[in-house]
Amino acid sequence: MKRVLITGAAGFLGSHLCDRFMTEGYYVIGMDNLITGSLKNIEHLFPLENFEFYHHDVSNFVHVSGDLDYILHFASPASPIDYLKIPIQTLKVGSLGTHNLLGLAKAKNARILVASTSEVYGDPLVHPQTEDYFGNVNPIGPRGVYDEAKRFQEAITMAYHRFHNLETRIVRIFNTYGPRMRLNDGRVLPAFIGQALRGEELTIFGDGSQTRAFCYVDDLIEGIYRLLLSDYHLPVNIGNPNEITIKDFAEEVLKLTGSNVGITYRELPENDPTQRNPDISRARELLKWEPKVDRAEGLKITLEYFKSLTEEELTKKEHFSFDKYIKR
């Protein structure tokens, strides 16, 4: 039985990866410091013999006994609320954490896949974004703690690949949604659905003309799995290229939920990308992958998940303001 270490295992994507690798017959070691993750996402795995969990912060030295075949590094705050509240931890997990896991991969002779992000492109001047685009990132802006952590993560991963001949993979993840997202994590999809379910007006930052492209989680996990097992070491975009404006997306959510609330417009936070859409030509060619779940289907599944939450979870709000991150 092959053994895989998944960091950020109690998070949104990490927990779905644990499920996938368990289904594929791997021995799965989950690791998470639970700073943003929740054991609720993986509690169904604890009784299983081929799953174990380490409560650990990968920014500190990482030790795992026994052999490892693969490491998937998904430990990191991933929403604006998270990385603006805990900026130092965000930088540390992308730098120190990645360094520790690359060292572990080298010691275990394991292949490692690191979770990068479309945020490495910043507020892009190229559209859609291809993997050979270097990006337009403000390193000292409020979002820089996340953007630059991920850019450093890619750089040190490539350094280990070139200098130590380590087997590495880099996935650049675009906006993803589905069950187990935190309703109050600040990302647009759970924010809109949460507001609609609570009967509140939907909040749009900016005029709503900015674009995003949403990939259902099952599609993303399939792309990551194929990339890990591929022979390709350079970054690969994984996302859904079906682009939509935030205003049109808000209208979709209102229609889906049957809510008759209105829309409130607020100023756009500093360095918030105006366009975000992946060019997935590389994934199509190398991995024979493209998304299968259309947005209407994925949103219905996601809505049902959010509706299943307890009243306490649904009404709990994140007391966080973006006001100081708005450029006046």
- Mean pLDDT (whole number) for 205-218: 94
Is the pLDDT score of 325 beyond 60? no
Active-site hit among 27, 70, 83, 146: 146
- The answer to whether residue 96 sits within a structural domain is yes
Q: 221 and 198 in one domain?
A: no
CATH number of the domain within which 188 lies: 3.90.25.10
Is the pLDDT score of 326 beyond 60? no
Cβ count within 10 A of residue 73: 28
- The answer to whether residue 300 sits within a structural domain is yes
| H or E segment and range at residue 53 | strand 51-55
Structural domains in the chain (count): 2
Kindly report, residue by residue over 25-52, the tens digit of the pLDDT: 999 999 999 999 999 999 999 999 999 9
Cα 94 from Cα 146, distance rounded (Å): 8
Band (323; pLDDT cuts 50, 70, 90): low
Q: 208 and 155 in one domain?
A: no
CATH number of the domain within which 107 lies: 3.40.50.720
Determine the 3-state secondary structure of 146 from DSSP: helix
pLDDT > 70 in the chain, percent: 94
| CA–CA–CA angle 13, 134, 186 (5° rounding) | 35
Cα 292 from Cα 218, distance rounded (Å): 9
pLDDT given for residue 45 in this prediction: 98
pLDDT given for residue 185 in this prediction: 84
End-to-end CA distance of the chain: 56
CA atoms within 13 A on the CB side of 22: 21
pLDDT given for residue 309 in this prediction: 87
Is the pLDDT score of 321 beyond 70? no
Is 265 one of the annotated active-site residues of the chain? no
pLDDT given for residue 322 in this prediction: 45
| H or E segment and range at residue 164 | helix 144-164
Q: What token pair was written down for 104?
A: 């572990």
- The pLDDT mean for the chain works out to 93
Q: 302 and 219 in one domain?
A: no
pLDDT given for residue 23 in this prediction: 98
Cα 302 from Cα 242, distance rounded (Å): 18
Q: Which residues contact 310 (CB under 8 A, 6 or more apart)?
A: none
Q: What token pair was written down for 27?
A: 């021995």
Q: 103 and 37 in one domain?
A: yes
Q: 10 and 146 in one domain?
A: yes
Q: Which of 210, 219, 215 has the alpha carbon at shortest distance from 127? A: 210
Q: Which of 204, 291, 295, 207 has the alpha carbon at shortest distance from 244? A: 295
- Is-contact 105 166, C-beta < 8 A? yes
Q: Which residues contact 75 (CB under 8 A, 6 or more apart)?
A: 7, 8, 11, 14, 31, 32, 33, 58, 93, 97
189-225 as b/e: b if 16+ CB within 10 A? bbbbbbbbbeeeebebbeebebbbbbbbbbbbbbbbb
Cα 146 from Cα 95, distance rounded (Å): 11
Query: How many residues in the chain?
Result: 328
**Which of 190, 223, 238 represents a domain boundary (last residue)?**
238
Q: What token pair was written down for 46?
A: 């604890």
Domain around 205: 181-213+242-276+294-317
- Mean pLDDT (whole number) for 1-25: 98
| CA–CA–CA angle 34, 121, 218 (5° rounding) | 50
Kindly report, residue by residue over 50-99, the tens digit of the pLDDT: 999 999 999 999 999 999 999 999 999 998 889 889 999 999 999 999 99
Q: What token pair was written down for 206?
A: 């900016």
- Mean pLDDT (whole number) for 218-234: 98
